[in-house]
């Protein structure tokens, strides 16, 4: 049979269960978009910028069982999308990137968009493919989907030259996609060693990341068996319920909140699941990891990268924790509830929250009061989408995430501008759930026009813009050592004007007294199928535990001469005003 490459590509996407594609049509993919328009299953979403489209695709993968998919033009489309592709790559998120390509049947150089896309995208993807024959279109897309989802997930790039898209070619058959491989079971000897090590510990602890988000019930059972406190990574905020009495918080070192710091003091055995011990997760590598580390991850390359493990367990978190729990029950009886630990965690959390509530914000919105009101208003299964900035760590420390798979945010690539488009992807993938974004004004300015896409699609979601007029996370990091904050003032931002421009509703929250009514008004507007911008006049004058701890950790790591130089400079600038 003869089929065009575009028809074959859309056929393959349909067989793979793809529901949405994100991108912008151009001269090298118009045939693909014409075929997508014929699909009864796939809805192509026009975005305002391919970077926003990549964040939407990322969020579809993070919040559903479907693989987020881009359909973009070569060169500029690929470079625009690179931030979202890089975020997915470093965060372990599956993504398919279908890209047009220049004509491969011409012997001409300097064609429009002619660059080596594979050299550019190879460091940002698990694999790249350039299709040369019509017969390779369907098998290649199946292989790309398999690579994107197996092992540690990530993005895969596929270039389809425009001539293959446009012109029909001979294909022998239309195969069905193969089933994804099931991860190998964990090694029994490692499981036995891990169980013995954890049972012998006097103060065991658990540290869970994004890779453990599907295993929350097993993590809970292991924690309860050992009566061990549980800390999460930033990306793994929804890997363990903050409502559980053993939940300690985000991180466990000097950059963590007091509840986690105290609960993990003296930890003599650590079970780490689905985490690489990256820089943000460890507060700039400030954590003290005990020698008795049991490290579980699907990617063996993470073992011993930053902290040596006593036991390494390669495999899926759910299978590994199932096996570990069974072994624990074989070797011992469950420990009785540690009331003293539960009470200490509860008291420390309450004291930290009370310190924030007592803080005088000089008439601006107190972050703790805002998050208290938001937590009381939204259901536990609402999807929280957080951007990168000071608001990220405020959310992690002050907004308890109570349900698995209910919070997403950029971490290792740390791309600002994530939350607005990602909230659109999350809402498309989960129309029955509430979706809201927590975004700083600097990050909001990067991708706020994507709300025009949300308005066009009738998506009811809320963007709470923490508005203070500067890039606050960096400004605070500058202010401590430099005593000044160069190049962080944003200038005027008219959020109401942005709302008018994109077709969104607008709500202003200028003080603590306006929080409850503002949240209620925003949710009511969103329930009618309209995006909402909430301008929150946030008070950032109190620093998070993460900011204070990470700055101190980095400073202490400097050579002595450099520490003295920086202190002298700070003192001189303070005296000089």
Mean pLDDT lowest for which of 10-19, 411-420, 565-574?
Answer: 565-574
Separation between Cα atoms, residue 486 and residue 30, nearest integer Å: 45
**Model pLDDT, residue 202:** 97
* Tokens encoding 27: 């001269």
pLDDT band at 156 (very low <50, low <70, confident <90, very high): very high
Mean pLDDT lowest for which of 7-21, 95-109, 139-153, 519-533?
Answer: 95-109
The pLDDT > 90 percentage for the chain reads 85
**Helix/strand/coil (H, E, C) string of 441-491?**
HHHHHHHHHHHHHHHHHCCCCEEEEECCCECHHHHHHHHHHHCCCCCCECC
User: Is the pLDDT at 577 greater than 70, yes or no?
Assistant: no
Separation between Cα atoms, residue 513 and residue 510, nearest integer Å: 8
CB 230 within 8 A of CB 251: no
The conformational region for residue 357 under phi > 0 = left, psi -120 to 50 = alpha, else beta, is alpha
Distances (CA, A) of 38 to 26, 44, 71, 162: 18, 10, 15, 19
| DSSP secondary structure code for residue 372 in this structure | H
pLDDT tens, 382-420?
Answer: 999 999 999 999 999 999 999 999 999 999 998 999 999
Domain boundary assignment for the chain: 2-170, 188-343, 359-546
Give how far the C-alpha of residue 416 lies from the chain's centroid of Cα atoms, to the nearest Å: 11
Query: Which CATH code fits 2-170?
Result: 3.40.50.970
| Ramachandran angles phi, psi of 535, nearest 5° | -85, 105
Separation between Cα atoms, residue 468 and residue 445, nearest integer Å: 13
Separation between Cα atoms, residue 219 and residue 207, nearest integer Å: 10
Distances (CA, A) of 236 to 122, 134, 320, 496, 514: 27, 41, 17, 33, 31
Separation between Cα atoms, residue 304 and residue 489, nearest integer Å: 41
Closest CA relative to residue 462, chosen from 385, 559, 543? 385
- List Cβ neighbours of 340 (8 Å cut-off, separation of 6 or more): none
| DSSP secondary structure code for residue 365 in this structure | B
Output the CA angle 334-337-342, nearest 5 degrees: 140
Q: Which residues of 347-365 are buried (b: 16+ CB within 10 A; e: fewer)?
A: ebbeebbeebeeeebeebb
Give how far the C-alpha of residue 398 lies from the chain's centroid of Cα atoms, to the nearest Å: 18
CB 29 within 8 A of CB 165: yes
Separation between Cα atoms, residue 7 and residue 34, nearest integer Å: 9
3-state secondary structure at position 350: helix
Dihedral sign for Cα 40, 45, 50, 53, please.
Answer: negative
Give the pTM. 0.95
Summary mean pLDDT of the chain: 94
**Model pLDDT, residue 529:** 98
CB 36 within 8 A of CB 83: no
Closest CA relative to residue 96, chosen from 161, 13, 163? 13
3-state secondary structure at position 294: strand
Give how far the C-alpha of residue 10 lies from the chain's centroid of Cα atoms, to the nearest Å: 28
**Model pLDDT, residue 259:** 98
Q: Right CATH number for 188-343 from 3.40.50.150, 3.40.50.1220, 1.10.3720.10, 2.60.120.10?
A: 3.40.50.1220
CB 255 within 8 A of CB 544: no
- List Cβ neighbours of 483 (8 Å cut-off, separation of 6 or more): 570, 573, 574
Which has the higher per-residue pLDDT, 279 or 1?
Answer: 279
CB atoms under 10 Å from CB of 122, counted, come to 13
Q: Which residue has the tokens 């097993």?
A: 218
Any idea how long the chain is? 577
Angle between helices 216-226 and 317-331 (to 10 degrees): 30
User: Is the pLDDT at 576 greater than 70, yes or no?
Assistant: no
Dihedral sign for Cα 193, 153, 132, 41, please.
Answer: positive
CB 417 within 8 A of CB 463: no
The pLDDT > 70 percentage for the chain reads 99
Query: Which CATH code fits 359-546?
Result: 3.40.50.970
CB 397 within 8 A of CB 249: yes
pLDDT tens, 541-565?
Answer: 999 999 989 888 887 888 888 877 8
| DSSP secondary structure code for residue 411 in this structure | -
Q: Do domains 2-170 and 188-343 have the same CATH topology?
A: yes
pLDDT tens, 28-47?
Answer: 999 999 999 999 999 999 99
**Model pLDDT, residue 519:** 98
Distances (CA, A) of 92 to 27, 218, 405, 452: 31, 21, 15, 29
CB 322 within 8 A of CB 227: no
Dihedral sign for Cα 521, 395, 489, 419, please.
Answer: negative
* Tokens encoding 19: 């529901």
pLDDT tens, 356-381?
Answer: 999 999 999 999 999 999 999 999 99
The conformational region for residue 113 under phi > 0 = left, psi -120 to 50 = alpha, else beta, is left
| pLDDT (mean) for 74-103 | 95
């Amino acid at each position: 049979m003869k089929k065009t490459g575009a028809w074959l590509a859309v056929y393959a996407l349909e067989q793979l269960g793809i529901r949405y594609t994100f991108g912008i049509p151009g001269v090298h993919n118009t045939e693909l978009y014409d075929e997508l328009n014929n699909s009864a299953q796939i809805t192509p979403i026009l975005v305002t910028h391919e970077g926003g489209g990549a964040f939407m695709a990322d969020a579809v993968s993070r919040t559903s069982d479907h693989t987020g998919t881009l359909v973009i033009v070569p060169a500029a489309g690929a470079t625009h999308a690179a931030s979202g592709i890089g975020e997915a790559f470093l965060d372990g998120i599956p993504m398919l990137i279908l890209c047009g390509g220049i004509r491969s049947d011409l012997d001409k150089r300097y064609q429009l968009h002619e660059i080596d896309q594979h050299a550019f995208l190879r460091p940002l993807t698990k694999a790249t493919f350039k299709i040369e024959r019509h017969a390779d279109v369907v098998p290649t897309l199946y292989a790309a989907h398999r690579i994107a989802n197996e092992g540690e997930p990530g993005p895969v790039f596929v270039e389809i030259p425009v001539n293959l898209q446009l012109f029909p070619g001979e294909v022998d058959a239309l195969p069905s996609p193969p089933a994804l491989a099931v991860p190998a079971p964990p090694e029994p000897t490692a499981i036995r060693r891990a169980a013995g090590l954890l049972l012998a510990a006097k103060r065991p602890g658990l540290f869970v990341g994004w890779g453990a988000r599907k295993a929350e019930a097993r993590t809970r059972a292991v924690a309860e068996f050992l009566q061990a406190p549980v800390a999460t990574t930033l990306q793994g905020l929804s890997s363990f319920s903050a409502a559980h009495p053993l939940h300690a918080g985000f991180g466990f070192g000097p950059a963590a909140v007091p509840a986690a710091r105290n609960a993990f003091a003296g930890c003599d055995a650590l079970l780490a699941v689905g985490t690489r011990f990256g820089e943000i997760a460890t507060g700039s590598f400030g954590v003290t990891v005990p020698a008795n580390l049991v490290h579980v991850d699907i990617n063996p390359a993470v073992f011993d990268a930053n902290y040596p493990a006593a036991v390494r367990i390669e495999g899926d978190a759910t299978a590994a924790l199932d096996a570990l729990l069974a072994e624990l029950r074989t070797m011992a009886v469950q420990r009785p509830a540690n009331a003293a630990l539960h009470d200490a965690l509860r008291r420390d959390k309450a004291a930290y929250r009370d310190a924030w509530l007592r803080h005088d914000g000089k008439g601006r919105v107190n972050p703790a009061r805002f998050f208290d009101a938001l937590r009381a208003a939204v259901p536990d299964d609402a999807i929280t989408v957080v951007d990168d900035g000071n608001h990220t760590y405020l959310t992690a420390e002050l907004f308890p995430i109570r349900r698995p798979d209910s919070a997403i945010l950029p971490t290792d690539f740390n791309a600002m501008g994530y939350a607005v488009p990602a909230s659109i992807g999350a809402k498309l993938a989960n129309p029955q759930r509430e979706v809201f974004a927590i975004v700083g004004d600097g990050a909001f300015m990067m991708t706020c026009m994507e709300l025009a896409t949300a308005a066009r699609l009738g998506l009811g979601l809320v963007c709470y813009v923490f508005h203070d007029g500067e890039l606050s996370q960096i400004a605070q990091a500058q202010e401590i050592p430099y005593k000044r904050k160069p190049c962080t003032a944003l200038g005027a931002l008219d959020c109401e004007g942005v709302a008018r421009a994109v077709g969104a509703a607008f709500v202003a929250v200028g003080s603590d007294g306006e929080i409850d009514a503002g949240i209620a008004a925003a949710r009511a507007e969103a329930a009618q199928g309209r995006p909402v911008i909430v301008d929150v006049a946030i008070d950032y004058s109190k620093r998070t535990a993460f900011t204070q701890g990470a700055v101190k950790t980095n400073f202490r790591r400097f050579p002595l001469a450099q520490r003295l130089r920086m202190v002298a400079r700070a003192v001189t600038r303070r005296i000089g005003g």
